[in-house]
Structure 1
Amino acid sequence: MQGSRLGLILENHPATQMAVVSPFVTQANIDSTKNHITLNILYQNVRGLKTKTKTWTMNLLLQACDIVAVTESFLDDTVEDAEISGGSWSVLRRDRGSPCGGVLIVARPGILLQRRRELETDSGEDLWVSCNIQGRSMFICVIYIKPSASDEDYMNLFCKIESFIFDLKGLVVILGDLNLNSASYNIVCYYSYFVTLCGLTEHNNIVNTHGSILDVVLVQEHVETIVSDTEGMVPPDLYHPPLNIKMNIRTAKHSDRLEPSNISNSKDWNFRKLDYETTPYSNVYGILGCSFDCNRCTTYARFSEIRSNLKACIPEAYENYIRRAESNIKANPLGFWDYISSLRVKGGFEPNVTLNGCMHSGVDAAEAFANFFADVFLSEVPKLSVDEVCLNDDKLHGTVISIPKFSVADIAY
């Protein structure tokens, strides 16, 4: 009784009121309902933590979010985890080893982070962690790619993620600074393909003071995600506003009925024990007939008409596309070669050309391309020389143009 009375007095005492209501807690501060949980992640490019550890620690103790993801930490072996953990937050980091770069993730007590080194690139700055929040598995990655990164650096990251992302059983969240504004044109194009291929959705629409967006917030599943600007852990960088990422995640719940395999691989129908001979298929067809508009002649006629029109349009559309491409090259050959040259300037991928069964690359590819089309280009300016035509009547070549007759009206001034 005395202990309970003392606790009540301390809770209501002004000196201890802040300790009661502030986030100095020993467990995760996650809002949850019966079927959903709300997870708050703070992301910031801090541009160095070595000289800001005091501000960082103070804000971490007062922070209401659940997870903090950081890029450009600038940390090395001289800074211990205890200096940035606030005493109770768990810390996972990947330092570059040089004065710049580096990424880290910290999580509130109660959220157990596990580093997944097998998902990381060998020489990049991507940190993958997994955690389980109230029965829901999550994979969180924080990435930093330096502005001087090569196309190979980008492709190593993209291809690595593509190789395993569909095998991950859980929600995937990718945060970071990819510096796409300084990447080559090919990388920017491939990034759009990468996001679509992996089923990722970009949720960040917060622009910096210069009117651009440098940081990405990619979520794989269809999860309600709200990204807003916030104060951050340290004074913000003008190019990287701190982001508060609020995610409303549906929790896993037990299902009393057996789900098909296309919903969950762990719950599958066993057709091997089915008695195919005595199964009343009429019942199945009846259910399908009640649920779908099947076996309707009018419906099929409409479908057949649309399909026929589509089949007729595909070859025509393809021919029009080829015709426009050829016409554009003919009308503006300089633009075509400018585009080819720009690929080399922007660090584009080295093209390969196959000619007569041989593969050519680099300069050899350009030579093979030029040799193949040599016959359609004149090697020199044509000469309108009647005398030369008469002298070489039996050995006419492409540089001589024979004009038997023309009038003054045919000449364009």
Structure 2
Amino acid sequence: MDSELVIGDWSILRRDRDTLCGGVLLAARTPLALRRRREYETDSGEDLWASFTWQDSIVPPDAYHLPLEAEVSYESARCSNIMDPSNINPARDWNFNKCNHEQLYSLLSETSWDSVLLATNVPEAISAFYQIIYDIFNNCMPKKHRSKSVTKRYSVWFTPEITKDIKRKVTLHGIWKRSKHHDDYKNFSDLRNSLKHRVATAYQIYTKRVENKIRINPREFWRQISRLRSKGGFEPSVSYCGDSYTGAAAAEVFAKFLPACF
């Protein structure tokens, strides 16, 4: 009962499961005021969304301490725009595995480098050098074809068995929701509890392996970072003075705005 949970100036939000036990609870103390956001909650029954307002200011606002307002918009993956990989320029996304090496060697040996040698400054020479290299690459190898379809991405520390059981858990949850039988719920619950333990263990093993690789082979660590970035994803945007910014531009705008608050 809510009366058993409410203590003094604490406010409680709860979302109970359809079973006899379990659920999600969120507690906040004054001056935080909670408001439940049911429009963001999923059908799984395992999440509870809320927004909050701070009734009293931490520091009274003045001309030198303006309030910092942050606005976050929520979109599902289906209606979000897919973000291209942040570290890949499509114009230079060559497939080196399909390179014509004989043609590459021939062009490198026959190319005139006068534009580099006759440059009047270092930036001009560098620009001319890369322009020659990129033109040769365009003649020797095709570009990569990257899929634009939305695919489910799992954490890098998930093993194939964990990924398989996560999909199986979704199936078992659907079976239980339709049947409401105790045995079906037990199958779902047992697998869920097992996954929680296995995911935590896999994460510990992964972090230890990454830490060891940083010391032993840092190049492999940065290769993994590059692989993760090349998968793309969904990138939030920041609005400032009526314009929208993403990626590095969003960070620069935030850095420009933040000093005005102090």
- Greater Cα radius of gyration, structure 1 or 2: 1
Structure 1-normalised TM-score? 0.20
Structure having the larger proportion of residues in helix: 2
Which of structures 1 and 2 has the larger relative contact order (alpha carbons within 8 angstroms, sep 6+)? Answer: 2
Structure 2-normalised TM-score? 0.30
